[in-house]
Structure 1
Amino acid sequence: MSPSGIQVELRHGPYTAVVAAVGATLRELRHGDRPLVVGFGADEIRPNHRGAVLAPWPNRIEDGTYTFDGEQRQLPLTEPARGNALHGLVTWVRWDVESQSDAEVSLVHRLVPFTGYPHPLDLRVHYALDDAGLHWTVTATNTGDGPAPYGTAPHPYLVAGEGRVDDWSLELPAAEYLAVTPDRLLPLAVEKVESAGFDFRTPRVLGDIFIDHAFTGLAADVEGVARVLVRAADGSGVVCSWVAAECPWVQIHTADRPGESGHRAGLAVEPMTCPPDAFNSGTDLIVLEPGQTHETTWTIAAL
C-alpha cells in the first residue's frame, strides 16, 4: 500500500485531483496538464503537511499547553525544534473513505479523546470537483458530553504556473498581519501590513520576500467571499476563495526550505478559522457544544 494510504482519483471537465487517505490529503490538483498545487508521488511519504487537513487546530500552540474549561492540558510537541504543538491531531492518521463518485469523495475520521484533548470528534472531509474548481469542506461534530475547543484549515501549496514563488505575483486582500517571534513563530501583536512590506492588496511580484505569517482584516466581495490570487508572468494562475466570516485568518508561507526540492516551489495559502495559539488566546476560537457541528469550505480554481 502507498505510504499515504488509499488513493482516490477525481475528474470533472479539465480538472483532476488525487486525494490520499493519510491526512485526508489533497495529493494532486490539475487543470488540464497544469498543476495547481505542489503534489507528491503516491510512493512517497508526504513531505511535511503538504495538502493535509489541519484539525482540531491549525498552526501552533505554544509549548503544547493550554487551559480549557478550568483544566490545563498538555499536547504532544509535534514541532520539537520550536517546542510547539503543530497543525492538530489528524495529519498523520488514516481516514476512511465513506463514499466516492467520479468527481467527489468523502473521508471520515473519529478522533479518539486523550488527556491532551479529551474531546471525541466526528470529522468529515469532502472534496468535490465542478466547473468552478475544487471545493474542499471540513465538518466536525462534537460527540462528547462537554464543550470542545476547535479550529481548522487546509494546507495546500498553490502553483501559479512556470517558475517558482519568486516569479509570481500575489493578490492578498488583508489589511493586517500577525507579527511573530523569529525563533518559534509565536504570536506577538496584530500590525498593519504596510509596516512589514506585506501589503499585497494591489497585486505585486513576490520576489525574494520571506513570509510565514497569518493575515487578517480581510476584504470580501458583496457575497462575503475573500480571494487570494497567485499569478505567473504569462497570466496563468490559481485562486483560493472562502467565506471570510468563516475563516477570518489566512496563513501565507513562501515555502522556504533551502536544500529541499519543494523550496519556494509553491505558495502555502491556508484559510484558518482562528489564528496561531488560539487555544490560549481565545481569539476566534470555536467552542463546539455537545452535539454541535461546524462546517467550512474552501475552493481552489485555475485562472
Structure 2
Amino acid sequence: MTAHGAALRELQHNGRDLVVPFDLGAPIPDYRGIIAAPWPNRIADGAYNWNGVIQHLPLNEADRGTALHGLVFDVLWEVDAHGVDALTMRCTVEASKGYPTSLELVVNYRLASDGLHCSVTATNTGAATAPYGVCPHPYLIAGDFPMDDWMLSFPATSYLAVTPDRLLPLDLHAVEGHAFDYRTSRVIGATQIDHAFTGLGTAPQLLLSDPAGTHVGMSWDEGCPWLQIHTADKADGSAHRLGLAVEPMTCPPDAFNSGTDVVVLEPGATHSVRWRIFGG
C-alpha cells in the first residue's frame, strides 16, 4: 500500500502479481490501485447541480473536459493503524467551491487466507447534505499470458453505452448478443472495453483466468451495483493492456448529474462498502 491515494501498490499470491504494481515513491500511473471518492469515474465539465446550487469541480481530465476519480487520489492519507496483516488510513475532504461539505474517509485493508479485504467508510462531518460515490481502481493480472488470451466472467446483464470522444453515458443496453456479454466465461480477445455494467445480481464476483491455470478474482457487496471494466488500451503502446481495470462502483459515470444511485449523505451520516481481491 501507499499513503498516496491510499493506493494498493502491490499484491501477490505465491510470488505472482495479482495487480499491476508501481514503484514505491513514484507517481501513480493510470490511477492504479487508488480509492476514487467522493465520486467514481467522471463528471461532465466538472459541473453539477446540487440542491439548487451549481458546483464546479477542477477538470483533471483535460482532453475530455471532465472531473475524474474524485478528490483524494492524489493526496496523502494518514496512517491510523497498521499491523502485520492490516492497515487503516484516513483523510479529510474539505468543503470547497465544487463540493458542498466536508467528509472523513477511512480505508481498511486486511490480508486473510481468502484474499485481500478492503472497506471504505465515509462520514459527512459538515453541515450540508452531500452527494457521494466511491470505487477502487485495481488493474488485475490473471497470469503471464497476454490479456487477449485471458478468460473473463462477471454477471452483468446490461452495459452503459458512452460517447466515443468523452466516454460520457448515453443509455443502457442488454449484453445479450453483444461482445460485452461475459456472463459465461470466455476469452477477452481483442475486445476493447471502457464501460460501466449493471444488473450484477446478489453476491457479485468477477473471475479472470490465464491459460496456464492461474487466476485472479474480485468480489464486492451489493452497495456497488455498478462495475467499470477497462482493458487499458494505450494508443502509444505504453502499458498497453497490462491489466484489466476492475472498479466496483456505488454509482455510474456522471451520476452527480443523472442522480442515478448517488448516495445522499446527510450531516453526520456514514456510508460503507467492501470488496475483496483473491488469486490462485
Fold match (TM-score > 0.5) = yes
* Residue in 2 that maps onto 1:96: 78
* Residue in 2 that maps onto 1:4: none
Q: Indicate the SS of the match to 2:240.
A: coil
Match of 2:134 among 146, 152, 159: 152
Identity %: 54
- Hey, what's the Cα distance between the residues in 1 that align with 2:241 and 2:113? 29
What CA deviation, in whole Å up to 9, does each residue of 1:124-158 have, x standing for no partner?
11100001100111110000112100000000000
* Residue in 2 that maps onto 1:226: 204
Please say if 1:300 is aligned against 2:277: yes
Q: Indicate the SS of the match to 1:20.
A: coil
Please say if 1:141 is aligned against 2:120: no
Give the AA of the match of 1:197: A
Kept after mapping to 2: 8 A contact 1:171/1:229: yes
Kept after mapping to 2: 8 A contact 1:164/1:266: no
Give the AA of the match of 2:219: S
TM-score of the pair, normalised by structure 1: 0.91
* Residue in 2 that maps onto 1:241: 219
Give the AA of the match of 1:70: G
Give runs of aligned pairs for residues 100-111 of structure 1, distance below 5 A: 100-111=82-93
Please say if 1:212 is aligned against 2:194: yes
* Residue in 2 that maps onto 1:114: 96
Give the AA of the match of 1:20: T
Give runs of aligned pairs for residues 1-303 of structure 1, distance below 5 A: 19-194=1-176, 196-220=178-202, 225-243=203-221, 245-303=222-280
Kept after mapping to 2: 8 A contact 1:98/1:108: yes
- Hey, what's the Cα distance between the residues in 1 that align with 2:164 and 2:238? 24
Shift of 1:195: 5.2
What CA deviation, in whole Å up to 9, does each residue of 1:241-294 have, x standing for no partner?
011x21000000001113344210100000000000100111000000110000
Kept after mapping to 1: 8 A contact 2:103/2:123: yes
- Hey, what's the Cα distance between the residues in 1 that align with 2:72 and 2:25? 20
Give the AA of the match of 1:103: D
Q: Indicate the SS of the match to 1:280.
A: helix
Q: Indicate the SS of the match to 2:251.
A: coil
Shift of 1:197: 1.3
Kept after mapping to 2: 8 A contact 1:172/1:227: yes
- Hey, what's the Cα distance between the residues in 1 that align with 2:81 and 2:251? 29
Kept after mapping to 2: 8 A contact 1:75/1:116: yes
- Hey, what's the Cα distance between the residues in 1 that align with 2:178 and 2:167? 15
Kept after mapping to 2: 8 A contact 1:21/1:95: yes
Shift of 1:70: 1.0
Q: Indicate the SS of the match to 2:199.
A: strand
- Hey, what's the Cα distance between the residues in 1 that align with 2:228 and 2:239? 18
- Hey, what's the Cα distance between the residues in 2 that align with 1:134 and 1:229? 15
TM-score of the pair, normalised by structure 2: 0.98
Greater strand fraction, Structure 1 or Structure 2 = 1
Give the AA of the match of 1:142: N
What CA deviation, in whole Å up to 9, does each residue of 1:73-132 have, x standing for no partner?
110111010000100000000101010000000001011111110210000111000011
Shift of 1:164: 2.3
Q: What is the total number of aligned residue pairs between the two structures?
A: 280
Give the AA of the match of 1:242: W
